[in-house]
Structure 1
Amino acid sequence: MRRKLLAGLAGVAAVVALAGPAAADTTGDTIVTLTVDAAGGLSITVPATANIGHGVEGSTVTGQLGPVTVLDQRGSLTPNWTASVISTDFVTGGGSSGETIPNINVLYWSGPATATAGGGTFTPGQPTAAQQVIINVPRTAMTHTGGTGNNFASWNPTLVVNVPVGTVQGVYTGTVTHSVV
């Protein structure tokens, strides 16, 4: 029995001798992730109303609409966007019995951006009056390309309405719609 005990102890001693002392690690890595959320989306704000002035038949009425602003808070790697504009006919007298200035007589020019922030390039659709366009179909008002992250641009567009000969007097109302994608 003594021999068995000694043989058993010798085996345990051999295992302990082979294992050696435990060593402590001196460095350790932790993989960390986080998520950056978009602060918001892509939006456009426009003046609720604008009165561009007075004119007589056969004249041109010109005036600025007030500030239009695109705010891009998507936090995108490619924050490109295009703002467009279109107009309805201008009518007076209400309903189908009213007089109309067709939207083919409504012109627009964005002018340059009055304020911008963020990287990339902001390009007006019509930088000067010489580039004004009829807005009876959607037309580009302003674009943004390049850069990363959030950005914004503001501009104060000019509307030009050619009042046809034979147009009756009255207050004419139309809707100019800006949109951004």
Structure 2
Amino acid sequence: MRKPLLALAAGAAVLAMATPAAAAPSGDTIVTFTVSTANLDISVPPSVNLGAVFAGSTASGQLGNVTVTDSRAALSATWTATVSSSAFTTGGGTGPETILPNLVEYWSGPATNTTGTGTFVPGQTTSADAVTLSLPRVAFSKTSGSGNNTATWNPSIRITVPAGAVGGSYTGVITHSVA
């Protein structure tokens, strides 16, 4: 009686081995993820005091660190920072109480710190390269590279105070922007 059962079991094993597998020989899984991006930002010192000067002389000094932070994770991570100036006024802002932007000179100086890849270009490296802020000027730029990056510089300004300027505390705004 054992032989027929053994033969039946052996026949079942041969039958099971001869049947092709129902599973696929490989399988694909599609995987996705997102590289988050953020903004292109600029930070500047909130204020600076250049001290006291007499009419007919110049007020000058550094503004403090200006930093562009590019967190866009862009393939082409280029940007240009510009600078402009308002008029500087005291009192009621009449003619003798106003120093116009064409009397304000600016130079970026070199970068004090950079991160990321690419080429960082100062707008004006030295005081000999100073430009008047009678119109918006390039302060700094990044002309090549990819990914996140930062650049910091400490720009200087020089304000020519007209001989006819009246005494008082003059206030103006130096504006840096980045795009």
TM beyond 0.5: yes
1:112 aligns with 2:106: no
RMSD: 1.7
Do the aligned residues in 1 keep the contact of 2:81 with 2:178 (CA within 8 Å)? yes
Structure 1 segment 44-59 matched on structure 2, within 5 A: 44-59=42-57
Deviation, 1:22, is 1.8
Do the aligned residues in 2 keep the contact of 1:112 with 1:155 (CA within 8 Å)? yes
How many residues align? The count is: 162
Deviation, 1:121, is 0.7
**1:101-153 deviations in whole A, cap 9, x for unaligned?**
11110000000011110000110000111100001210000001221110001
- Structure 2: runs of 5+ lacking an equivalent: 1-14
Aligned partner of residue 140 in structure 1, secondary structure:
strand
Do the aligned residues in 2 keep the contact of 1:84 with 1:179 (CA within 8 Å)? yes
Do the aligned residues in 2 keep the contact of 1:106 with 1:161 (CA within 8 Å)? yes
Deviation, 1:90, is 0.5
Identify if the C-alpha distance between structure 1 residues 58 and 96 changes in structure 2 by more than 3 Å, giving closer, same or farther.
closer
Do the aligned residues in 2 keep the contact of 1:52 with 1:159 (CA within 8 Å)? no
Structure 2 Cα separation of the partners of residues 158 and 78 of structure 1:
30
Structure 1 Cα separation of the partners of residues 133 and 95 of structure 2:
24
Corresponding residue of 2:71? 73
Structure 1 segment 15-94 matched on structure 2, within 5 A: 21-23=19-21, 24-38=23-37, 40-94=38-92
**Structure 1 length normalisation: TM-score?**
0.84
Aligned partner of residue 109 in structure 2, secondary structure:
coil
> 2:35 is aligned with what amino acid?
V
Identity %: 52
Aligned partner of residue 22 in structure 1, secondary structure:
coil
Structure 1 segment 93-108 matched on structure 2, within 5 A: 93-96=91-94, 99-108=97-106
Deviation, 1:26, is 4.1
Structure 1 segments of 4+ aligned residues over 4 angstroms from their partners: 95-98
Structure 2 Cα separation of the partners of residues 26 and 123 of structure 1:
56
Corresponding residue of 1:7? none
Structure 1 Cα separation of the partners of residues 39 and 97 of structure 2:
40
Do the aligned residues in 1 keep the contact of 2:96 with 2:165 (CA within 8 Å)? no
Identify if the C-alpha distance between structure 1 residues 78 and 162 changes in structure 2 by more than 3 Å, giving closer, same or farther.
same
Do the aligned residues in 2 keep the contact of 1:92 with 1:98 (CA within 8 Å)? no
**1:59-82 deviations in whole A, cap 9, x for unaligned?**
111101111111000110011100
Structure 2 Cα separation of the partners of residues 103 and 144 of structure 1:
26
Corresponding residue of 1:6? none
**1:17-73 deviations in whole A, cap 9, x for unaligned?**
9xx6123444322222221111x2001111111112221111111101111111000
